[in-house]
Amino acid sequence: AQSVTQLGSHVSVSEGALVLLRCNYSSSVPPYLFWYVQYPNQGLQLLLKYTTGATLVKGINGFEAEFKKSETSFHLTKPSAHMSDAAEYFCAVSDGNAGNMLTFGGGTRLMVKP
Amino acid sequence: DAGVTQSPTHLIKTRGQQVTLRCSPKSGHDTVSWYQQALGQGPQFIFQYYEEEERQRGNFPDRFSGHQFPNYSSELNVNALLLGDSALYLCASTPPGGFYGYTFGSGTRLTVV
């Protein structure tokens, strides 16, 4: 069984500061890893994904994440927060098999202070 | 190019009733999955449809059922609604030939009273 743990249900940063959202996963097979963002009353938008290859993945809106197998982590970072980054962020894992069910973490609400 | 569309956007039902939610996948996508997102939680996988058959199912009771049509659109049916079924129901689609992450719709907000 797969699982995802997002440390910190709420993270607050100042505008212009570094954003770091933590994600640790558990998987018995090489995982596919994803970060999604959800704005209020909306669905999920894919920020970035790791399937195979380069472990540092760049996504949209200046976000990036690094897959660290030894630490079973896939933390999301952005060098400089913008007010528009305020949203709920979800880390998810899939085993890459047919069906490709996603298992999500509980989410982290990012707040950006002016 | 339209993404994943879901209808209705909001719905209020009474406990014990039945509900049908609808989803049209993104153009070119043939696989549809449904997720339930309770307030303040991450989405949970309900089931996935491919070639008009249920291919994988999460830990949800038989009250939750679905269907996929030849045009790849899908329905989610929930019978004997419980208060705990109140949630945002998300539909997601993926293209043929590989999995690189779902495209999600905006969801249907179901409130059971």
In whole angstroms, what is the distance from residue B87 CA to residue B112 CA? 9
Residue A7 has pLDDT above 60, yes or no: yes
Q: Give the number of other Cβ atoms within 10 Å of residue B31's Cβ.
A: 23
**What's residue B99's pLDDT?**
67
Average pLDDT, whole number, for chain B?
94
What does the pLDDT average to over A62-68?
Answer: 96
**What's residue A100's pLDDT?**
78
Cα dihedral angle (B88, B92, A89, B61), rounded to 10 degrees? 50
Residue in chain A lying closest to B96 (CA): A98
CA distances from A56 to A33, A49, B86, B96 (A): 12, 10, 38, 26
Residues of chain B in contact with residue A65, where contact means CB-CB under 8 angstroms, are none
Contact A46 B44 (CB under 8 A): no
**What's residue A37's pLDDT?**
97
Q: Which amino acid is at B48?
A: Q
Evaluate the CA torsion angle A94, B49, B33, A50 in order and state its sign.
positive
Residue B101 has pLDDT above 80, yes or no: no
**What's residue A22's pLDDT?**
98
Residue in chain A lying closest to B109 (CA): A41
Q: Which amino acid is at A73?
A: S
Q: Which has more confidence, B77 or A94?
A: B77
